[in-house]
Amino acid sequence: MTVFIDADGCPVVDITIRLSKQVGVECVIICDTSHVFEKEGAKTITVSKGNDSADFVLVNMIQKDDIVITQDYGLAAERAIQTDARAG
């Protein structure tokens, strides 16, 4: 299980990293170059700026039982449901 954060505009990055660390689950932040994050306790993947570029990377990485933290109820949440990941 991995927690993926769609960090572009996500207000709960810090709390998600803290909770992931507490329960021993890997945490991955995905953002584009306009929202660069480097947070202790999480791996950061920075993608080229573009319409939904972070979302496309995220949906291609998630697997069954992963957790997706996003405010984007479109592409990322739909894909999370299709892979039996959890979207929140």
Per-residue model confidence as pLDDT tens for the chain (88 residues): 999 998 877 889 999 999 999 999 999 999 988 877 789 999 999 999 877 788 889 888 988 889 889 887 776 566 666 776 666 5
Range of the domain at 62: 2-87
Whole-model pTM?
A: 0.85
**What is the Cβ-side half-sphere exposure of residue 30, based on CA atoms within 13 angstroms?**
22
Within 8 A by CB and 6+ apart from 88, the residues are 67, 68, 69, 70
Task: Count Cβ neighbours within 10 Å for each residue of 33-58 and write b for 16 or more, e otherwise.
Answer: eebebebeebeebbbeeeebbbbbbb
CA distance 36 to 4: 15
CATH number of the domain where residue 56 is located: 3.40.50.1000
> Looking at the 3D structure of the chain, how many domains does it have?
1
